[in-house]
Structure 1
Amino acid sequence: MSDQPHSTATAEGTAPNRLDWRLMLPVFVIVSLDAASAGAILPILPFFLRDLGATPLVLGLVLGAEALSQFVAAPFLGQLSDRFGRRPVLLASQAGALISLSLLALANSVVFVLLARVLLGLTAANFAAAAAYAADNSSPTTRRQAIGVLSAGLGLGGMIGPSLSGYLSDISLTVPIWVALMLSASSIVITGIFLKGSSPVGRTAPGQDQTASEKVSFRSILTSPVIRILLIVLLCHYFSYGLFSSELAVFLGDTFVWNGHAFGPRELGYILTADGAINILVQLLLLKWLGSKFSERNLIVLVFCILTTGYVLVGVATEIPTLALAVLCISTGVALARPTFIAALSVHVPRQRQGVVMGSFQSLVAVTDIVTPAIAGAILGQSLYGAWIGAVVAIALAGAVIASSRLPKVDPEARAAGP
């Protein structure tokens, strides 16, 4: 697999050849705290809204509104971090998250929950700014390692937050929100005290080529047949997974009995914690080995097969072991999917177009996050559980069929090497 696209956005050319952990450790802690704060909300949000009288459709609309606000704001906030530096944008985003969590903790109606989540989406530039900071303070040879450090922070926070939420939700559904608020406040303190301020990146130097950024458009990228197929396959994955993940808590809450009682926030916390652990293990132990054994096309098909198996198991699960196996399959498939798809796009795109392709990729993912919660909420709002899981499986299988029949059989690297 080829290099991923963050090599297109280098810093000043003065980054060290080895990671400076005095610079990286604070941002690792910041990302972990922010991820833990966000993760603490996920298990309780569906049940918090249900207690306020919301239907599954309303939950889908809330999640879709949050994704829409993030889709609109993220590029603008990224430009601000280039102009004014990473630290100020991080602090502003964290302050917005703090206000959002305060509003959520005090919410007594669905409207206030909606406002809180929209505000969170508008200020959700934390990881993007942190990744830019890591790129500023790493060389091209250490940038992947630097981004990997931040990804590990995301995984760690994704384990800690839901785990805390699962235990604390037995006290009250608002307790995890206050804990998330404290985690977010701690992140602000560390950012303000320990994070070294980075200089603004600034505008493109007069001698640099601006053609790629000005003239390369999403439309021009679609002239490549392979890119078109890959984007369709990507949409199949993110659409099916968006339908599934946005309403999983509602589905299990309505249909699954956990040790004699209904599935609730604590059990969802267990699942999200396990998902974070599986994600880390897959990234560390499985992805590289599979990449060496499977071609690009076959690896994508394998990802869809693993995911489809997990989706079917969730649909038929009546006992905890079956559900655990389903979680293992789905978490493994999702952990493999993103780096596999990004690497596949990178292989088929010239170096000068990497940035615009990955930006378009992120936009497509955001669009599915906007649309799928509302669709899934409408289906489950009518208690059409079989139709919901059937749609998820059908779209994933369509992605597998398209990848198997339309993507090249031989990887570009192998073709270039010859027989």
Structure 2
Amino acid sequence: MLRKEILNLVESKVEEYSMLNYHVLESMADWVRVVNKEGIIIYANKTMKEAVGDNIIGTKCYQVHGKEKPCRFCIAERSMATGEIVQKEEKINGRYFSVKSSPVLNCNGEIFAAVEVFRDVTRERKLELELIEKNKKMSKDLLFAKKIQEKILPSKDTLEKLKVDYLYKPSEMLSGDMFDVFHVDEENIGIYISDVAGHGIAASMMTMFIRQTMRAIKDDILSPSIALSELHRRFSTLNLEVDKYFTIFYGVFNKETYQFKYANAGHNCIPIKYGNDDVELLKVKGYPISLIFNEISYEEKKIQLKKEDKILFYTDGITEAKDKSGKDFGVEGVMEAIYSKNNNILKEIEENIINHSWGEQEDDFALVLMEVIE
């Protein structure tokens, strides 16, 4: 069929069926073409002709894109066969196009062609691909940070007269919960647990500050209450936003006297001391480490420990774990596990949390068990 005859056919079809508004199509910024049932282009708008050439009328639809055979999935063919509007994405000469094909009907309701609209989405796709690559890099960096955060946790080991075990589960890749155990001097061992507001990258960075600062403070300050005041002072010099804060419970165990001194900076998950004969909450008042106060002092208490005494430290990811009705696991859930006298209390609490919250974890949580073994 000659090109002139094809153009005459197209114009007569347009006029007869009034299916295509010729002037609207010609002014569109998108490429528009009409393909008949033989896969031949019988119309292309001005924008498409300027992009791929005036001689595309009468050629096979796939030849315009430099292909030697039809597409494996031809949306024009699908539209004409089913009457559906079909869409796909196609890469043409290094550019990305969103292509939508719609059936064209004559006055008898019969499909005789398909109109295809090509929208250039190259900019969007390139931005999307760049974002995917950046996300891959970020995920890789987060994984590295996760490994570092896990590596700096204390060893599950025995520090002379103390045995330390723990359970640590971030809700995301990184956690805002942190704890540490270290020698303060030849006679004393320090232990703390902290919980940074929020979780993720910002919270995990704050845990690094807490760890490094506490390890620096312990060389000069033995008293838990004074240590927390100094921690607050150093935190204030960071000049962060007022919504950045954290809680921390810090205690020092003397290996010679078995005395345990402690102070609390707003940590509402009160550590629980228990042994063969009693259970006691180590309550002591104190405000979180925040920018609300320029200076702050903390109350300090002490208890006498003995062999087989244990202290369980935990964060609010434990107590605030909710069941389907919204009920918290609570301190009651922790106490119930203690009273069960299970030899592996950390494992029992973990299993109880999983059962309570149906396996869903919304917040970071940490459990640390300190036991006097000599």
- Fold conserved (TM > 0.5)? no
TM-score (norm 2): 0.29
Q: Which has the higher strand share?
A: 2
Largest Rg, 1 or 2: 2
Higher relative contact order (CA 8 A, sep 6+): 1
Q: Which has the higher helix share?
A: 1
TM-score (norm 1): 0.26
